[in-house]
Chains A and B, each alone.
Chain A
Amino acid sequence: MIVQEQGSKGIFLSIDWVTILLYVILIVWGWFSVCGACYDYNNPDLFSWETNSGKQIVWAGTSLVLAAVLMLIEKRFYDTAAYVIYGAMMLLLLVTIFIAPDTKGSRSWLPIGSTMKIQPAEFAKFAVALALAKLMDTYGFSIRKTKDIGIAIGLIVFPMLLIIGQKETGSALVYFAFFLMLYREGMTGSLLFTGFACVVYFVVGLKFSGDHIANMPVSIGEFTVLLLAMIFTISMVWVYCHNTTAVKWMSIGCFGGTLLTMIFSIYVIPFNVCYVMLGLCILMAGYIIWLALYTRVVRYALIALFAIGSTAFFYITDTLFEHLDDHQRIRIEVLLGMKEDLRGAGYNVNQAKIAIGSGGLTGKGFLNGTQTKLRYVPEQHTDFIFCTVGEEEGFIGSAGVLIVYLLFIWRLIAVAERQTDTMGRVYGYCVLSIFLFHLFINVGMVLGLTPVIGIPLPFFSYGGSSLWGFTLLLFIFLRMDAERNLKRQ
């Protein structure tokens, strides 16, 4: 009892008020943006329960209550209940698929009473984060053990599948954010790099597949992807195996061979250089496999796998892309800037750009934005809330929001790093990775840089579910942090 009383006092002093300050700034700023986005010319009362801005005050107020309650729940509770919470949430997600009514094609909203509804997917994140933190805090857990990492990835993928089952692919993608945490905890960086390489292959390969290098029957997309595959592979041999001789021979073989073929193609007989490059890639992979067998170093085999995988990935996505449904293909093409489709798939992004671009340096002023208020930007108070910031507060306001977010995430990194146990640190990284991922996708989508994936901007987007979900996620961590100075009983 005595320990606990001392603890309570210590906890209050140990609360990270910097994070809470940033949290409050974001919520208040968010409320002003929701006002701008939802302003109705016929109903100008911002505080009325009839308006979204009025409701958002209620969501924010209840969030603060939730935050206060969360500060009272000891870390020990989560340590004990992590798996139970995880299990319960998974059950809820599963049940949601079957009982949720169809809302715009997705089955992710559960009605509560007659007017309210919540989205369990928003609350599942903290459960997954807790389960991961608990798992990785287990004695003897090692991220290098295939079985351990397998379980961790399983904990992540299972809710993703359930959420995809609810037809909320966007929300499911958020769970990829946990890989950032895994990276911090020691997962090999080459996996992240491989993911990065896949995205580059996909984007470059598709975007330039139709363009040809001057007067040659060579697709720029294919050529670039094959060249990148060579460069990446050779660099990996250099970085991971330090075999300069092999690097030298492979460079001469690949780049020299490509150059010679190009010269031949230009001056003698024009033909598709990519066939030769593909051959060179296969030769290179064969050489690395031979190195693997000769030196008995597994890394060579993995690099060879990367080389083969790279080329295979490109040709498979290229073929798959051709067989996609028209509307999916158009969506991707619009995103990559290959098609201007301003009335169809490109409408949202184009209108968002107009709204933001019309803001200028200082914006049009609070409630003076026309684009969002007149509903040119769809979902302007939820997923596209950043448009309102851009239009009404201009470059200064929107850059300001991004900087506050950056400070918020940096602060969370610092707080996570000062945790004395793995559970706190893992949970902290889960939280900040989720915020970073939301920021990356949501703002990127509004600016036309990332795909249009319907996920909210934390603390800005209108809605109780998302605000409560993010508050829950954050304040469990802040309570854990506040206990960092207590000795474990």
Chain B
Amino acid sequence: MKSHFYEYRKFVLAGIALVIVLCYIVRLAFLQLSDGEYKTRADDNAFFNNVIFPARGVIYDRNGELLVFNQPAYDIMVIMREVHNLDTLDFCKTIGITRDFFDKRMATIKNIDKNPGYSTYTPQLFMPQISAEEYGVFQEKLFRFHGFYIRERTIRRYATDHCAHILGDVAEVSQKEVDNDDYYSPGDYIGKQGVERSYEPELRGIKGVQILLRDARGRIQGHYRNGALDRKPVPGKNLTLSIDAKLQALGERLMEGKMGAIVAIEPKTGEILCMVSSPSYDPHRMEGKQRGEQMLEMQRDPMKPMLNRAISGTYPPGSTFKTSQGLTFLQEGIITPSTAFPCYRGFVTKGMRVGCHGHGSPLPLIPAIATSCNGYFCWGLYHMLNNRKQYKNIQEAMTTWKDYMVSMGFGYRLGVDLPGEARGMIPNADYYDRRLGQWNALGVISIAIGQGEVTLTPLQIANLGATIANRGYYITPHIVKAIEGGHIADSLKVKHETKVEKKYYDMVAEGMRKAVLGGTCRSANTSMYEVCGKTGTAQNRGKDHSAFMGFAPKDDPKIAIAVYVENGGFGATFGVPIGALMMEQYINGQLSPGSEARAASFQSRHIDYGTRER
């Protein structure tokens, strides 16, 4: 048979079969035995992690008054392939949209470029956060709108019209936040400002997850392993703020039409009792879907209502700063309680003059504080910086001075539990060396009276008051009093001792008492309790800033306060009376009728700031 000549070709064919099978086995090994890449991609395909959002913690004030809570919101979802026989006109009327909007919205959902996860089988967001009233009407007609569903979600609501800067707000995470923290996925909510931001990890809780099996069309086919690997969400922790909502409300009332800040601290604990920044805004503006445009509007406002001036604004402290100078000079032995410096309507030497107002001369420390004598503190710093017995050179003297200031909480962030705290400015020797080259005490003398390079935040001024009230120490000021089921950070309980002894603080407190009894703060005097205070009138390019720092009662202080009114003139004009009203409100729990009348009059006294950019 002729074909036997070609019988060898059976080996060729058997060989072809062998080569094919071997090639495929190698390929299989390459696919299946290499790395886990395909496994991961298979899991991404098949497992749908249905995230269950925990309830965000709610926020109370120090007396248990509810400030922030959650409210269910309703998103309208649509499953495209289930939509049929839709009465579009009725649908649009029910949720109050135009036909045009409806068509555009549907087109956007179907556009893969704008909506990358689009599938006709899965629910797509048609309209976010409709109100409860709209929901009510919509739900009645829902059975007629095939393919439309309601998804419940919670939004943040505010029970108060105040505390906007403290509370902050929540909004969808930005891409950067998603990249930085594995916890977040696009579409999640995150605290953006205030306590909502600084206590985000406590407030948000822990997301739960259901692991579902999803088919190629995005339809859910059931629970993976009957839910054995599912996790329940852990609700967020509730916060109790140290804020007194009534005090805060009064503060915001008093600051109406003025720019500036009020900060009150409970000296013993460092708890912040109120933190007013003016101008402020109604926190309700940050609720729900209007947040974006409201933010934009406020960001454009030249008065910058979004800025929390209490911690982000830095101001010359003016005369309130003199207390810290007196303490430093006493401790360093530059002065004794009886040292008196002359003041002839100011500090006058070698062609240099820092003006002062009329009062007796020469005078020692306590009356100098009471009358807020510029000359006294300028002389004090002058003698300190020029003291070559104690300090090798002016740099060393300056460094010593700076160390005192820092020990009192100036020049660095205090570490308050709110985002956006500023440092303020305490110059040091280096700074002057660089800036001025050759320099002497006279060139920098204005820092002794809280002018020049020195700036503090209103919080730091209030903290100075708390330190004097405590006679020599302060607790890190903080805004959260308690976390339900948790503890506040240890860093918020640290007791900071200053470099000055208690006995000198007693003297300064005495001076502040005298200022109230017969000095610059007379209008803060009351028979109900012993008030200590210090005015400040800070010079700046425009009209002077009006400041007040004080605490009460003198011997068992319950409240230390700083008031700062931009361009308010003398400290006694706005600072002192506002501070007095605030202390009365907190210590008595209410205002007397007379005080109420005064409060009303201050509420209506507005300062014209023009429209200049700040």
Residues of A within 8 A of B (CB): 41, 142, 180, 183-186, 351, 353-361, 370-371, 374-376, 378, 390-391, 394-395, 398-399, 402-403, 405-406, 409-410, 413, 416-417, 422, 425, 429, 432-433, 436, 439-440, 443-444, 447, 449
Contact = CB atoms under 8 A, between A and B. Distances in A.
Contacts of B2: 142, 186
Given A186-B6, A395-B33, A405-B21, A376 B46 contact: yes
Contacts, number: 133
Nearest to A360: B32
Contacts of B213: 41, 370, 374
Tell me whether chain B's interface is mostly helix, strand or loop, or mixed: helix
Given A354-B45, A395-B32, 8 more contacts: A184-B6, A186-B5, A370-B45, A371-B46, A391-B42, A409-B14, A433-B13, A449-B27
B126 to A, nearest CB: 24
A326 B277 CA distance: 65
A357 B31 contact: yes
Given A186-B6, A356-B28, A356-B31, A406 B221 contact: no
Contacts of B18: 406
A142 B39 CA distance: 55
B216 interface: yes
Contacts of A440: 20
Ordered nearest first, which 3 A-B pairs have the shortest CB separation?
A357-B38, A358-B42, A370-B46
B24 A402 contact: yes
A184 B39 contact: no
A376 B41 CA distance: 11
Interface string B204-223: 00000000011111000110
B1 interface: yes
B25 A402 contact: yes
Counting chain B CB atoms within 10 Å of each CB, the highest count among A361, A370, A433 belongs to: A370
B45 A374 contact: yes
B38 A184 contact: no
Interface in B562-611: none
Contacts of B32: 356-357, 359-361, 390, 394-395, 398
27 contacts: A41-B213, A41-B221, A142-B2, A180-B13, A183-B9, A185-B3, A356-B32, A356-B38, A357-B41, A358-B41, A359-B32, A360-B33, A374-B213, A374-B216, A376-B215, A376-B216, A390-B28, A395-B33, A398-B28, A399-B25, A403-B25, A409-B17, A436-B16, A436-B20, A444-B24, A447-B24, A449-B24
Interface string B22-64: 0111011101111001110111011100000000000000000
B9 A184 contact: yes
A96 to B, nearest CB: 31
Contacts of A375: 215-217
Contacts of B6: 184-186
Contacts of A374: 45-46, 213-216, 221
Tell me whether chain A's interface is mostly helix, strand or loop, or mixed: helix
Contacts of A376: 45-46, 215-216
A108 B123 CA distance: 38
Contacts of A403: 21, 25
Given A374-B214, A422-B3, A447-B24, A184 B221 contact: no
B350 interface: no
A289 B21 CA distance: 41
A439 B27 CA distance: 15
Counting chain A CB atoms within 10 Å of each CB, the highest count among B25, B28, B29 belongs to: B28
Nearest to A144: B2
B37 A357 contact: yes
Contacts of A361: 32-33
B3 A186 contact: yes
A439 to B, nearest CB: 7
Contacts of A353: 31, 38
A447 B17 contact: no
A180 B13 CA distance: 8
A183 B13 CA distance: 9
Interface residues of B, number: 42
Given A357-B39, A370-B45, A422-B1, A184 B13 contact: yes
A418 B576 CA distance: 117
Nearest to A410: B14
A355 B3 contact: no
B10 interface: yes
Contacts of B87: none
A374 B17 CA distance: 33
A374 B1 CA distance: 56
Nearest to A425: B3
Nearest to A396: B32
Nearest to B222: A41
Contacts of B214: 374
A395 B27 CA distance: 10
A375 to B, nearest CB: 4
Contacts of A357: 31-32, 34, 37-39, 41-42
A374 B43 CA distance: 11
Nearest to A403: B21
B375 to A, nearest CB: 81
Contacts of B46: 370-371, 374, 376
A402 B20 CA distance: 10
Contact of B21 (A183, A351, A402): A402
Contacts of B31: 353, 356-357, 390, 447
A412 to B, nearest CB: 10
Contacts of A395: 28-29, 32-33
B7 interface: yes
Counting chain A CB atoms within 10 Å of each CB, the highest count among B9, B14, B20, B47 belongs to: B20
B45 A417 contact: no
Contacts of A360: 32-33, 39
Contacts of B217: 375
Given A183-B9, A447-B28, A447-B31, A358 B215 contact: no
Contacts of A405: 21
Nearest to A361: B33
Contact of A443 (B3, B24, B221): B24
Contacts of B12: 183
A410 B20 CA distance: 13
A358 B39 contact: yes
A417 B216 contact: no
A353 B32 CA distance: 9
A280 B585 CA distance: 104
Contacts of A356: 28, 31-32, 38
Nearest to A187: B6
A354 B38 contact: yes
B394 to A, nearest CB: 69
A99 B20 CA distance: 39
Nearest to B37: A357
A360 B29 CA distance: 9
Nearest to A433: B13
A422 B17 CA distance: 22
Nearest to A408: B17
A406 B1 CA distance: 28
Interface in B51-99: none
Interface in B197-238: 213-217, 221-222
A449 B31 CA distance: 12
A184 B16 CA distance: 12
B25 A449 contact: no
Nearest to A439: B20
A371 B42 contact: yes
Contacts of A444: 20, 24
Nearest to A446: B24
B110 to A, nearest CB: 16
A247 B429 CA distance: 92
Interface string B291-322: 00000000000000000000000000000000
A258 to B, nearest CB: 31
Contact of B14 (A391, A413, A447): A413
A406 B24 CA distance: 12
Contacts of A410: 14, 17
A351 B222 CA distance: 21
